[in-house]
Structure 1
Amino acid sequence: MPLAFFKKKLTNNSSIAISEENSHYPHLFEPLDLGFTQLKNRIIMGSMHTGLEDRFYHYGRLAAYFEARAKGGVGLIITGGISPNREGWLTPLAGTMNRLADVVHHRRITHAVHKHGAKILLQILHAGRYGYHPFVVAPSAIKSPISPFKPRQMSQKNIAATIADFAHTATLAKKAGYDGVEIMGSEGYLINQFLSSCTNQRNDKYGGTLENRGRFAVEIVRAIRQAVGEQFIISFRLPVIELVEQGLVMAEVIEFAKSLESAGITLLNTGIGWHESRIPTIVSSVPRAAFVRYTEALKAAVNTPIIAANRINMPKVAEEILASNQADLVQMARPFLADSEWVNKARNNQENLINTCIGCNQACLDHTFNNEQVSCLVNPLACFESQIALKPAKKPKKIVIIGAGVAGLSAAVTAATRGHQVVIYEAKPFIGGQFNLAKVIPGKEEFFETIRYFREQIKRLGITVELNTKVDRAMLANMQADHVIIATGVVPRQLTTLAGVNLPKVVSYSELLSGEKVAGERVAVLGAGGIGFDVAEFLVHGESVAADVNDEHYQAVAQTAESFFAQWGVQPDAHYNHEGGLTAATAIKPCRQVYLLQRSAGKLGKSLGKTTGWVHKAVMKQAGVIQISEAEYEKITDEGLWVRLDGVSQLIRVDTVVLCVGQESVNELMPKLGDTPKADYHAIGGARLSDGLDAKRAIREGFELAVRL
């Protein structure tokens, strides 16, 4: 079909072209003809639950959120999961589409997306036993490890009614203007629960053989196709590798996929793992596109266009997947939280300006599982597009920022975007602050991308940066600024009352992670918060800090997919024949013995993230890190660390003691009581408050302040 066909003028008089040739990423920007409709490119914004789907009065915000991504160039959007009935809720009163009145609210979304030439699918998700409410149902009455409610086993009458509910929701979606629906059949939700023998112990026509276990899904597809007709997209997200005991093998995945083809699907999307799986799939330590090999195996066996997913966050990775024929389309979810203009930047060969998703989960998935409003650590505007307007400043001002950590950088870029004149002063010879320490932790190599993003935005916006410049009060007085932002961050807290803390064997976490000092073969880490766990992981893998780590051309070497699979026990063969794709894990060989201690009672790591903490804890166990709680630090000697445990004084023989016992704010440049500065002063990030400091708060505070100025 000629390219000109896809460049037709949109019916709403938009000037945006449906698609265009692209020499930088030709496969990403190739249209896809589905017969009855076309996608303008191969880039899909995957489903994410934002917290806005559950209340009708949030749909204006949800429409603005999706519109920003459609305007940003994405070809197809898939909404967060919407339940077909009450039993399918994820949480009480969750988003449901089963009444004609729901159509009105959803039309706001479809209209907002369509006026920019993108298409949108409503994802229909039945939580099954994953639901957090007392009405949960499942194929068998087997309780989920991630929900407190035991499900009721579905009767055949209940199954028939649920199939009808799926079809009814799809019909309403069509009335609301959606271009199709996606059926959530993976990740351990209801349809997946029917498919897998670990959760389906039925002995009727919906249990036993693979054909019977897959019958529920096939009947849903057929019912939807009959209800909506042929010219409507039906995407099915199937589990290409389940990563749970008694899970499918690849031959069964292929057989199931073929039955879905026969039932009338349009697209096959790939799901990786269950929510209860003990294999990381979505954290930053997962190598980019690690699981795409399984998508490739499925693509070779079916005729339906296949969508690759999971840990794909940059155009080069996405382009390679398509160019090597591993998939027909590429889906990204969190990367579109991080940057709504991802597609346009890729089209214009501005990959260096993409605000890359670093897979941290701190403001997205952690918020979802805590029933909080979703946003993004590196992009606080995400999901607040209708509430926060980055309007040009009415009167441009001179803004001086002291400190080039992520708080100061966030403020600088936001202020400069609004038209303010911005100057940054940084005492060190590089920007990035604490991110320069985080980025050297094994598995956190993505943090380099955030520093790169800020560096490129500084160049683009013409922000002046004075490195190697320690500012004092006299300098500030002569700068004639309208606003001074103190973003000088934190320094590690010292245990000044601990005997022996000044011995050479005692180092701070910043001295260790910066490469200034090197640890011995036996190390005690004092403090088991997020920094303590990061330091322990750094130590068991061995220092990887290079002399040029702060050079802008420095490239971190991330773990390979093969090494990752070996560590976690995933069968690397794309045609895996072990149930769920699981195999024996290869034990980590730590390069030193590490002790991780905390003063408080209870298990270590209680403050770690909801969706990432278990991964860090598992790595500690794999590496043989000895974890000690309720430790009273007595003294440090040449022999090692003396601690009192259960009232008994004991010696832990170590060569190095690393202090991870908190931070202290650096804010001596803030005006003191009685001062009368000419400029308005503001403190953000660690300089404002060191307790509970994290990058999410630092970046958000810098952004929000610059929006107000």
Structure 2
Amino acid sequence: MTHAQSHPKYPLMFSPLVIRGNRLKNRIIMGSMHSGLEDLPNAAERLSAYFVERVQGGVGMIITGGITPHPSGGRGAKLSEPSEVPMHRAVTDAVHAADPDVKICMQILHSGSIANVREPVGPSPVRSRLAKVPPVELDEAGIEEQIAAFANCAALAVEAGYDGVEIIGSAGYLISTFLVERTNQRTDRWGGSWENRMRFPVEVVKRARAALGDDKILIFRISAMDMLEGGLAWEEVASLAKALEAAGADVISTHFCWHESQVPTIATMVPRAAFAQVTGRLRKVVSIPLITSNRINMPHVAEDVLARGDADLISMARPMLADPEIVKKAWEGREDEINTCIACNQACLDHTFTGQLTSCLVNARACRETEITVAPATTARRIAVVGAGPAGLAYATIASGRGHKVTLFDAAGEIGGQFNLARKIPGKEEFDETIRYFGRMIEVNGIELKLATRVDADMLAAGGFDEIVIATGITPRKPEIAGIDHPKAVRYVDVITGKANVGRTVAIMGAGGIGFDVAELITHAGTPGSLDVDVFAREWGIDFKNHPRGGVTGVVPEVASSGREVWLLQRKASAVGKGLGRTTGWTHRITLQRRGVQMLGGVEYDRIDDEGLHIRVEGEPRLLPVDTVIVCAGQEPARELYGQLVARGLAPQLIGGAYEAAELDAKRAILQATELAVAI
């Protein structure tokens, strides 16, 4: 896919850019993500298929997942010896063969104090809260060894066919720990003053520049605003960028977090392109191109960032998981067919940080391109899919895209199922995009959609279908406690849809994902924090204007009160919220704690009556004198129709929540639906 002329709608996004003699055909980069494919025995095959699909989707440049330059940098993919070159060469050859105009750079990542090795290293023995042990303090010889390792890795990257490298100097990895005073407590020439603390990254860039030669791209990823108390001051960020340019960096890529920071930067409640303004400020300091990132998930958002002058290049990482063809669809005017990243983190970052293979909730094929292949059906079948929630939608659209004739039924008047509840939660408005995408795919693939239609076994049996797929979802569980039918007790579904009135004092029975969502909804003060950058900044204590150290030092988050007193309860004695997503759960806990929500675990429910909710905590009776009890006590599979069909001797397939409803899990439902739809 080449771009020989300007684009009428996205003239900046599709304008070329030349970096050290390398011509990028557009301004969209597939940003670095460690997928786990790098660590597999068949890494070359899997990575090649993964990247080539994005190349064919129109991206201008790819930056790989992090590759360590030294054994101390972390277990997993490494490039420090010539024997490791062939795997990388296979990947670069595949990318260049797919489109010679697309560039691919390798990210060099040394994890430093948070590396998953027995003896991590760092500038000082300061333990990260994410690590089990403090790092070993590097001596002068150790520092020289690490700098040489970066240069060696860069030289091997050239041998492996890469068009350049990105050196990551942010996020709490090795290079960034030299920069920040709290992790660099040295008194020699590598610590103390700012000039000494930035010596390590500058030396790394100088050596890497020499190793790369004159025609390869060198990108440096900087913590432009690290969201860290006592982090980098603006003056330090600016002077570092200038020094890196002087040392030989061709591009500065801006990053906006440490893994230890207590501010969400890529979760779904973060406004789109919220941090691009920081890149725009830094862009005025240096003369080389700047990359911005974070929550830029649609073409018009990218074009707007470029039009404001906030960046020269746009990094889209997770959006490339959600839809490999996002750039191609923008070029062809098919934006309504883009499967948008909703920033849920459930299958990408949550997987990365728990050692699982990365994928995508809305695109289960991501990183499974060689395992889940979508090919035209050899024989077209007539298929009935009952239920237009995430599982039913995924199955119907994939099966119809392969050539099957699909009829999709739902008793509701709209598609989306449980996603229609999710999108009503403040901070989850992005779920609208997934429903929009599936709605468009229904049109594109010619699916016969029958809404407000409650089908029965007789209707399906008489329909002459070759296959019947039951995706009828779940029904909320009604716990067996005294007073569950009391007027104070309401279902979470009725609260989210606005059918139930909620009082000033509230108890929420159940602290799973739904319980937290309901607590967010009823304590939200009505401000559009998930859509407005200024509101988001106030709520999380970010000062974009003055840029104090880390962007947050000395800034007190503003808490808008809903006026409600809320208890969030669970039967388990473990910490409330422990089962939430690894990379987003903490944001929900912090938000609710700041709003005064009281969280109790180890709760036994006795009864609901006029006085409120009677419970026991560690065997001691307690009364919560609440106006409303919201029941979020789990779900049951809705399998009545399935049972009726089986009783008639039919063999329907069961998918999604109707198959398993232990906890609502769209990730599992869409994966299951995808695997079955490509196999039929």
- Could you tell me the TM-score, scaled by structure 2's length? 0.97
Q: Secondary structure at the match of 2:36?
A: coil
1:46 to 28, 31, 35: 31
Matched pairs, number? 677
Once residues 677 and 400 of structure 1 are traced to their aligned partners in structure 2, the CA distance between those partners, rounded to angstroms, is 17
Of residues 600, 603, 606, the one that matches 1:634 is 606
Match of 1:206 among 185, 190, 197: 190
One-letter identity of the residue aligned with 1:703: T
Q: CA deviation at 1:18?
A: 4.9
Moved more, 345-354 or 644-653: 644-653
Per-residue CA shift, 1:443-473, capped at 9, x if unaligned?
1111111111100111111111101100111
Q: In structure 2, how many angstroms separate the alpha carbons of the residues matched to 1:195 and 1:57?
A: 37
* Range moving further from structure 2, 576-585 or 41-50: 576-585
Tell me if structure 2 keeps the 8 A contact 1:526–1:661. Answer: yes
CA distance in 1 between partners of 2:318 and 2:444 (Å) = 24
In structure 2, distance between residues paired with 1:406 and 1:543: 28
8 A Cα contact 1:404 1:433, kept in partner: yes
Whole-Å Cα distance in 1 between the matches of residues 228 and 337 of structure 2? 38
Task: Determine if the alignment matches structure 1 residue 220 to structure 2 residue 191.
Answer: no
Deviation at 1:35, TM superposition (A): 4.2
- AA aligned to 1:683 is L
Distance 1:675 1:579 in 2: 63
Per the alignment, residue 350 of structure 2 pairs with 366
Per-residue deviation at 1:673?
9.4
**Cα deviation code 1:121-140 (max 9, x no counterpart):** 00000000011211210000
Instruction: Work out which of the residue numbers 74, 78, 84 in structure 2 matches 1:96.
Output: 78
Return 398-407 or 689-698, whichever deviates more: 689-698
Cα offset, 1:692, TM superposition: 3.0
Matched AA of 2:514: I
SS at match of 1:424: strand
2:423 alignment counterpart = 439
| Matched position secondary structure for 1:535 | helix
Query: Partner residue of 2:238?
Result: 254
Distance 1:73 1:675 in 2: 50
Partner Cα distance (2:646, 2:500) in 1: 42
Which secondary structure state, in structure 2, belongs to the residue aligned with residue 120 of structure 1?
A: strand
**Inter-CA distance 26–520: structure 2 relative to 1 (3 Å threshold):** same
Aligned to 1:74: 59
2:631: which partner in 1? 659
Question: Quick one: which of 81, 87, 107 aligns to 2:89?
Answer: 107
Q: Of 495, 514, 517, which residue of structure 2 is paired with 1:512? A: 495
Classify 1:543/1:459 alpha carbon distance in 2 versus 1 (closer, same or farther; 3 Å).
farther
**Paired residues of 2:50 and 2:369 also in contact (CA < 8 A):** yes
**Cα offset for 1:543?**
7.5
Residue 156 (structure 1) shift:
1.0
Query: What is the Cα deviation at residue 567 of structure 1?
Result: 1.1
Q: Decide whether aligned partners of structure 1 residues 34 and 658 sit closer, same or farther in structure 2, where only a CA change above 3 A counts.
A: same
Whole-Å separation in 2 of the counterparts to 1:315 and 1:151: 42
Contact 1:110 1:177 in 2 (8 A): yes
Following superposition, the deviation at residue 19 of structure 1 comes to 4.5
1:33 to 18, 21, 34: 18
Please state if 1:700 is matched with 2:656: no
Larger displacement relative to structure 2 (577-586 or 254-263):
577-586
Q: Within 2, Cα distance between the matches of 1:372 and 1:332?
A: 21
Whether contact under 8 Å (2:225, 2:550) holds in the other structure is no
Please list the CA deviations of residues 7-37 of structure 1 after superposition, one character each: whole Å capped at 9, or x if unmatched: xxxxxxxxx4254321111110000022411
Deviates more, 1:590-599 or 1:199-208: 590-599
Contact persistence 2:394–2:670 (CA under 8 A): yes
State which of 176, 190, 194 in structure 2 corresponds to 1:192. 176
1:122 corresponds to = 106
Q: CA 1:425–1:217 in structure 2 vs 1: closer, same or farther (change >3 Å)?
A: same
The answer (yes or no) to whether the contact 1:191–1:216 under 8 Å persists in 2 is yes
Kindly indicate whether the alpha-carbon contact (under 8 Å) linking 1:133 and 1:149 is maintained by their aligned counterparts in 2.
no
Moved more, 333-342 or 223-232: 223-232
Q: Partners of 1:353 and 1:558 in 2: how far apart?
A: 24
Cα shift at 1:508: 0.8
Deviates more, 1:510-519 or 1:69-78: 510-519
Distance 1:55 1:473 in 2: 46
- Between the aligned partners of 1:673 and 1:448, the Cα distance in structure 2 is 33
Return the alpha-carbon distance in structure 2 between the equivalents of residues 30 and 507 of structure 1.
55
**Counterparts of 2:40 and 2:434 in 1: how far apart (Å)?**
33
Give the letter for the 1:701 counterpart: Q
After alignment, is 612-621 or 29-38 more displaced? 29-38
Identity, % of aligned positions: 47
Counterpart for residue 550 of structure 1 = none
**Aligned ranges for residues 310-389 of structure 1 at < 5 Å?**
310-389=294-373
* Distance in structure 2 (CA, Å) of the matches to 1:420 and 1:543: 45
Alpha-carbon shift at residue 288 of structure 1 (Å): 0.8
Cα shift at 1:476 = 1.0
Is the Cα contact below 8 Å between 2:148 and 2:207 reproduced in 1? yes
Query: Is the Cα–Cα contact under 8 Å of residues 44 and 90 in structure 2 kept in the other structure?
Result: yes
User: Which residue is 1:233 aligned to?
Assistant: 217
Give 1:149 deviation, angstroms: 2.3
8 Å CA contact 1:541, 1:591 repeated in 2: no
Which consecutive residues of structure 2, in runs of 5 or more, have no partner in the other structure?
A: none
CA drift at 1:351: 1.2
Partner residue in 2 for 1:173: 157
Secondary structure, aligned partner of 1:123: strand
Identify the residue that residue 245 of structure 1 maps to in structure 2: 229
Provide the C-alpha distance between the structure 1 equivalents of 2:380 and 2:237, rounded to a whole number of angstroms: 59
Is 2:443 aligned against 1:452? no
Q: 1:622 is matched with which residue: 580, 586, 594?
A: 594
The residue matched to 1:585 in structure 2 has which SS? coil
**Match for 1:152: what amino acid?**
V
**1:676 deviation in Å?**
4.9
CA–CA distance in 2 between the matches of 1:345 and 1:557?
A: 30
Is 1:83 matched with 2:55?
no
Paired residue secondary structure (1:519) = coil
Q: 1:688 aligns with which of 653, 659, 665?
A: 659
Asked if the contact 1:249/1:581 (under 8 Å) is kept, the reply is no
Q: Is the 8 A contact 1:356 1:450 kept in 2?
A: yes
Specify which of 428, 451, 475 is matched with residue 491 of structure 1. 475
Say if 1:241 and 1:580, in contact at 8 Å, map to a contact too.
yes
Partner of residue 3, structure 1: none
1:206-248 Cα distance to aligned partner (Å, 9 max, x none): 1111111111111111111112211110000001001112211
In structure 1, C-alpha distance between the alignment counterparts of 2:465 and 2:642, rounded to whole Å: 14
Output one character per residue of 1:599-646: Cα deviation in whole Å (capped at 9) or x when no partner.
221211121011111111101111100112222211111221111233
Contact 2:645 2:652 in 1 (8 A): no
Q: Deviations over 1:339-368 (max 9, x none)?
A: 000100111121111101111111111111
| Aligned match of 1:276 | 260
Structure 1 distance, partners of 2:646, 2:369, is 40
Are residue 540 (structure 1) and residue 518 (structure 2) matched?
A: no
Deviation digits for residues 344-403 of structure 1 (CA, Å, limit 9, x no counterpart):
011112111110111111111111111011110000000011222100000000010001
Instruction: Report the CA distance between 1:674 and its aligned residue.
Output: 7.2
Q: 1:674 to 1:356 in 2, by over 3 A?
A: closer
Distance 2:42 2:470 in 1: 38
Question: Does the 8 Å CA contact 2:506/2:629 hold for their aligned counterparts?
Answer: yes
Residues 1:424 and 2:396 are matched in the alignment = no
Deviation at 1:107, TM superposition (A): 1.2
1:134-173 alignment, distance < 5 Å: 134-173=118-157
Distance in 2 of aligned mates of 1:139 and 1:543: 46
Q: Residue 169 of structure 1: CA displacement?
A: 0.7
